[in-house]
Amino acid sequence: MDVRFWGTRGSLAKPGPTTLRYGGNTSCVEVRGVDGTLIVLDCGTGAHGLGQSLVSSGGRCDGHLMITHTHWDHIQGFPFFAPLFIPGNTWDIYAPGALGQRLEQALAGQMEYNYFPITLAQLGATIRFHDLVEGQFAVGGVRVTTQYLNHPALALGYRLESGGKVIVYASDHEPHAPNPAVRREGEPPMHGEDRRHVEFFAGADLVIHDAQYTLEEYPQKTGWGHTPAEWAVDYAVAAGARRLALYHHDPLRDDEALDRVVEICRRRAGAAGTVLEVFGAAEGGEVRLVEGDTTSPRAARPPESMMKAGPHTILVADDDPTIVRLLTLALEQDGFRVVTANDGKTALRLARLERPALILLDWEMPGADGIEVTRALRNEADPVLRDVPLVLITAQSGAENTAAGFAAGVTDYLTKPFRPAHVRARVQAWLLRRRDEVPRTP
Ligand SMILES: [Zn+2]
Ligand SMILES: [Zn+2]
């Protein structure tokens, strides 16, 4: 995937001699999936330059505009985004749906006669509006996952996956536990929602994160909906991300002051013992994420013992999409490839096709339940499937139920509710235990 920053400033455009290097335009990032799919993240004043660049290359220009929220610094470039004026172009526009105010109305509002001479309805391109909630969808060859951010407006972060690379865009966001005293430097977040925020970045190749304030400034800015840059580093470190772009720069911060923030953040990443690469997002800056590229630093590698655990595919089968997503994020953090099914029959088919190293099965699923799938696999001719560690996910951990599962050939249980950290530790144990059972040749 290719990334280009067109606007990196937060709150208010701040062009001028003091912001030449990092730029003065507000939020706008261009992303190209490996298949060429064009995604534009936010539509602040930076969208003007992007729009000009897109139409200057001529021809049809279709794309997907993903808006975190409709604060001005994220939509003011919308009426100036040239591809929207050209008949024949098609643009899909996404933003979190708020009760009583849909995306289309919010964008039309800033184009009312008092504010702008052209109405939304007069734009030449075909425009399709999509009100989003948390979830997953695909545009072209890019898998998109959305998750709510903590901000005074309903805001969504976007996780984009294409060609084996992951970009997460999380602006604007404030930590859920706002009192710096509740956690010491370098400690992982204590609040469950903060941990979920970190999980959203799991294994990302690039995290573009709100870093409007410094820790020193933060006590005066608590509740304004933004993150101290140092904590953006902590999130990226905890998630095992490779690169962090400090983003949504405060309009009061000039280039030299931003250099100092970047330096503080680099030292913090270094002190945490990782090789997370930290930089300040700058207008015109580009990042290229190439499939199979291993030259970039990799933080939080899985332990060597796990890397040798054999095939790295894990099958997760559950009809609850929240559980599937939670497990997928947790496992991908440790470098596993996760294949998923939401019913028993699909699970069985995928198990035969993929021959995974571990299978996590929900007890109660449509088609065939976890016990039936277990019995079927234990009777396979293929020894890989006969012996694969098979873990049942259940809310019922009573002795009677567990005995029935073990009788069917279940290896172990994962009892709901569970935490990702817990799952990761258990997965290591299941895989390592399995290796020890295999007779070793000298
Ligand atoms: Zn903003
Ligand atoms: Zn905002």
pLDDT at 166: 97
How many other CB atoms are there within 10 angstroms of residue 124's CB atom? 12
pLDDT tens-place string over residues 369-398 = 999 999 999 999 988 899 898 988 887 655
- Ligand 2 centre distance from Cα of residue 10 (Å): 8
- Ligand 2 centre distance from Cα of residue 22 (Å): 20
- Ligand 1 centre distance from Cα of residue 347 (Å): 43
The H helix count followed by the E strand count for the chain is: 14, 19
Which two structure tokens, joined as six digits, stand for 201?
A: 């970045």
**C-alpha span between 190 and 184 (Å, rounded):** 10
How many other CB atoms are there within 10 angstroms of residue 10's CB atom? 25
- Ligand 1 centre distance from Cα of residue 74 (Å): 6
Neighbouring residues of the ion ligand 1, judged by CB less than 5 Å: 10, 73, 172
Minimum mean pLDDT range among 88-92, 194-198, 409-413: 409-413
- Ligand 1 centre distance from Cα of residue 71 (Å): 6
Smallest-distance ligand from the CA of 8: 1
Lay out the sheet containing 165-170: strands in order across. 135-139, 142-148, 156-162, 165-170, 206-210, 243-247, 277-280
Among candidate residues 150, 170, 154, 138, the one with its CA nearest the CA of residue 95? 154
Give the alpha-carbon dihedral of 196, 198, 204, 210, to 10 degrees.
110
- Ligand 1 centre distance from Cα of residue 276 (Å): 25
- Ligand 1 centre distance from Cα of residue 247 (Å): 10
- Ligand 1 centre distance from Cα of residue 106 (Å): 16
Smallest-distance ligand from the CA of 210: 1
pLDDT at 303: 31
CB proximity list for 325: less than 8 A, separation 6 or greater: 136, 145
The SS3 call for residue 90 is strand
- Ligand 1 centre distance from Cα of residue 101 (Å): 19
CB proximity list for 51: less than 8 A, separation 6 or greater: 77, 80, 81, 82, 83, 84
Give percent helix, percent strand, percent coil of the chain, each to the nearest 5. Answer: 35, 25, 45
Q: Is the per-residue pLDDT at 181 higher than 50? A: no
- Ligand 2 centre distance from Cα of residue 172 (Å): 5
- Ligand 1 centre distance from Cα of residue 229 (Å): 15
pLDDT tens-place string over residues 269-311 = 999 888 899 999 999 999 999 876 543 333 333 333 333 334 4
What burial letters (b/e) apply to 179-190, b meaning 16+ CB within 10 Å? ebeebeeeeebe
Report percent pLDDT > 90 for the chain: 60
Amino acid at position 180, single letter: P
Minimum mean pLDDT range among 26-35, 199-208, 413-422: 413-422
**C-alpha span between 149 and 254 (Å, rounded):** 27
State the helix-helix crossing angle for 192-200 and 229-239, rounded to 10 degrees. 70
- Ligand 1 centre distance from Cα of residue 117 (Å): 25
Looking at every residue in the chain, the average pLDDT score rounds to: 86
For the entire predicted model, the pTM comes to 0.67
- Ligand 2 centre distance from Cα of residue 383 (Å): 55
Smallest-distance ligand from the CA of 150: 2
Half-sphere exposure of 306 (CA within 13 A, CB side): 20
Q: Is the Cα dihedral 11, 13, 19, 21 positive or negative?
A: positive
- Ligand 2 centre distance from Cα of residue 225 (Å): 7
pLDDT at 308: 36
**C-alpha span between 378 and 137 (Å, rounded):** 34
Which two structure tokens, joined as six digits, stand for 380?
A: 């396979």
